[in-house]
Amino acid sequence: MSIQTVSTTPFPGQRPGTSGLRKKVSVFQQPHYLENFVQSVFDTLGDCAGKTLVVGGDGRYHNRVAVQTILRMAAAHGYARVLVGQGGILSTPAVSCVIRKRGALGGIVLSASHNPGGPDGDFGIKYNIDNGGPAPEGVTEAIYRRTEAIAQYRISDAADIDLNRLGVTRIEATEVEVIDSVADYAELMQQLFDFDAIRALFAGGFRMCFDGMHAVSGPYAKAIIEGLLGAPAGTVINAVPLEDFGGHHPDPNPVNAAELIAIMAADDAPDFGAASDGDGDRNMILGRKFDVTPSDSLAVLAAHATVAPGYRAGLKGIARSMPTSQAADRVAQALGIPAFETPTGWKFFGNLLDAGKATLCGEESYGTGSDHIREKDGVWAVLFWLNLLAASGKSVEQLVSEHWQRFGRNYYSRHDYEAVETHAANELMASLRIKLATLKGQDLGHYVVDFADDFEYTDPVDGSVAKQQGVRIVMTNGSRIVFRLSGTGTEGATLRVYLERYEADPEFHHLPTQQALYPLILIAEQVAGIADWTGRAHPTVTT
């Protein structure tokens, strides 16, 4: 066993996007591609003697190969310890949990999240810092600059270790411990939620369906919901992580989680439905014949947070990404706590959580979380809902309808135009930006534009500035249209159009969403010329 120094040359385009570096599996399979990125991470961190690294992924195709490579490189870099999930499996929230609990310097998450997997699918890698959260932009930019100059990497020539067997192995001077993927995480959940009340709920005949989508959260949901909480076997479906997610998009939204949607639409549907994504950080919440938008889910949980033991003391603040609906802001106002609006991507919540300025955070893209870790957390959100359902004795639909009655309803939808030609998408955004100055005060349909801008965020904790985070057109009555390009796709560009309309009057709280938003949909087309630029008359995915 010895450490080798291998010569290499830079690969273009290793800049992390919204959440790490995501590319086709075939790109990651090129010799040196993964190694260059990992060495760039280590070079950016500097000396790691005496430090601990956490490594795990969502089990997708190429996960095990990448884990073995990273273990050999971590040993060559001189880490004292590496903690790796059994079978190479750790959900994104579990990595965050383990980093914090074990005092690690950081962690490497292998996942392309909700992107499809398999040999023709996507792979991804992300570095998380010592607070358990995604590296902030300053760090990801430094890593990227390093990838542009890299000339060599160091790697041990040790044999593969057995990832299936719990316990400690040595690679060079580094102790590599294979840990139970679920244990630390399950322990944390029991500190936050009233497991006795949820157990009693299931014992009383409450029925639920959790769709693991053959992705990473299956083992967590099985151990916690069926194991610790006593839900009947079969409550968790598609529970075994597969390298290609069974050929599906592990993306928990009403379009991709069609099997669960059908189960919840049946006359004998369970009381509660939920799903999570590839790496276990997203959640979708469903009632019987009823789906909850992620923006509403954040607002409802915030309004009732004190039912859960972990949040008994109340919330310090609520943070949401800019395109997320403003429903949570109304709750913050009622609670007399601050509301924060950040750019898209969980990394922007880290400072607010560390500084104790926010307790709950959410994104419209089926992401919800809190200060218990520094990632969004799918199973956590499901347990929070279970705790609320147990404490209130109400149905999902009842809780959401009552919320709308009290706060008004923020109708909300996102229209995605996927795999659009990159140049055309950039031109669309550029032409929108040129128009911004002229939009203020204009009449658009029945709306008047209050202001239009390209969202810019100054972090209230460290003063760092993020520019060009999405074009927003905000109407005088608070309705909004937001345009931005995805930073997670691997094919062409994806245009996201976010639509929001506020409705105070309960008489109008039960319209079909697309109908309620129709005037805004027309305005979005009129202002941005989506069909002209993209050649698409309709979005690829509407959520």
CB 362 within 8 A of CB 281: no
Q: How many Cβ atoms sit within 10 Å of the Cβ of residue 81?
A: 18
Residue 118 interaction partner, one of Co ion, ligand VG1, none, beta carbon < 5-8 Å per kind: none
Phi, psi torsion values for 400, nearest 5 degrees? -70, -40
CB 409 within 8 A of CB 386: no
- Token digits of residue 223: 């151990």
Residue 68 interaction partner, one of Co ion, ligand VG1, none, beta carbon < 5-8 Å per kind: none
Q: In the bound complex, what is the minimum distance in angstroms from residue 468's beta carbon to ligand VG1?
A: 13
The amino acid that residue 55 corresponds to is V
Q: Answer yes or no whether residue 412 interacts with ligand VG1 by CB under 6 A.
A: no
Q: Which member of 137, 281, 416, 500 binds Co ion (CB under 5 A)? A: 281
Distance CA 190, CA 455 (A): 38
For residue 178, the surrounding DSSP H or E stretch is strand 174-179
Q: Answer yes or no whether residue 488 interacts with ligand VG1 by CB under 6 A.
A: yes
CB nearer ligand VG1, residue 368 or residue 488 = 488
Distance CA 254, CA 246 (A): 18
Q: Which one of 44-52, 237-245, 276-284, 335-343 is the stretch in contact with ligand VG1 (CB under 6 A)? A: 276-284
Burial of 500 (0-12, 13-18, 19+ CB in 10 A): buried
Would you give the binding string for Co ion spanning residues 102-141, x where CB under 5 A is met? -----------x----------------------------
CB nearer Co ion, residue 39 or residue 297 = 297
Number of residues that bind ligand VG1 (CB under 6 A): 18
Q: SS3 for 443-501, per residue?
A: EECCEEEEEEEECCEECCCCCCEECCCCEEEEECCCCEEEEEECCCCCCCEEEEEEEEE
CB nearer ligand VG1, residue 86 or residue 113 = 113
DSSP symbol at 180? -
Q: Write down the H helix ranges in 212-357.
A: 217-221, 258-265, 294-303, 327-335, 350-354
State the greatest distance between any 2 C-alpha atoms of the chain, in Å, as a whole number: 73
Q: Answer yes or no whether residue 58 interacts with Co ion by CB under 5 A.
A: no
Which of 19, 40, 111, 113 is an active site residue? 113
Q: Answer yes or no whether residue 364 interacts with Co ion by CB under 5 A.
A: no
Residue 479 interaction partner, one of ligand VG1, Co ion, none, beta carbon < 5-8 Å per kind: none
Site for ligand VG1 in 365-384 (CB under 6 A): 365, 367
Residue 18 interaction partner, one of ligand VG1, Co ion, none, beta carbon < 5-8 Å per kind: ligand VG1
CB nearer Co ion, residue 111 or residue 235 = 111
Angle, helices 137-147/33-45, rounded to nearest 10 degrees:
130
H helices, E strands: number in the chain = 18, 27
Residue 367 interaction partner, one of Co ion, ligand VG1, none, beta carbon < 5-8 Å per kind: ligand VG1
The torsion angle over the Cα atoms of residues 263, 268, 273 and 277, rounded to 10 degrees, is: -10
- Known catalytic residue: 486? no
Q: In the bound complex, what is the minimum distance in angstroms from residue 431's beta carbon to Co ion?
A: 32
CB nearer Co ion, residue 279 or residue 459 = 279
Q: In the bound complex, what is the minimum distance in angstroms from residue 91's beta carbon to Co ion?
A: 9
Q: Answer yes or no whether residue 344 interacts with ligand VG1 by CB under 6 A.
A: yes
Rg of the Cα trace of the chain? Answer: 23
Q: In the bound complex, what is the minimum distance in angstroms from residue 238's beta carbon to ligand VG1?
A: 17
For residue 340, the surrounding DSSP H or E stretch is strand 339-342
Site for ligand VG1 in 14-53 (CB under 6 A): 18-19
Q: Answer yes or no whether residue 194 interacts with Co ion by CB under 5 A.
A: no
Distance CA 83, CA 79 (A): 11
Q: Answer yes or no whether residue 363 interacts with Co ion by CB under 5 A.
A: no
Q: Which member of 172, 211, 277, 459 binds Co ion (CB under 5 A)? A: 277
Q: Which member of 10, 118, 338, 487 binds ligand VG1 (CB under 6 A)? A: 487
Q: Answer yes or no whether residue 276 interacts with Co ion by CB under 5 A.
A: no
Site for ligand VG1 in 303-332 (CB under 6 A): 321
Distance CA 25, CA 4 (A): 25
Would you give the binding string for ligand VG1 spanning residues 435-474, x where CB under 6 A is met? ----------------------------------------
Phi, psi torsion values for 454, nearest 5 degrees? -105, 115
Residue 488 interaction partner, one of Co ion, ligand VG1, none, beta carbon < 5-8 Å per kind: ligand VG1
Distance CA 279, CA 329 (A): 28
Which of helix, strand or coil describes residue 249? coil
Residues at the site binding ligand VG1, with contacts judged by CB under 6 A: 18-19, 113-114, 277, 281-282, 321, 344-346, 363, 365, 367, 486-488, 496
Residues at the site binding Co ion, with contacts judged by CB under 5 A: 113, 277, 279, 281-282
What residues are annotated to the active site? 113
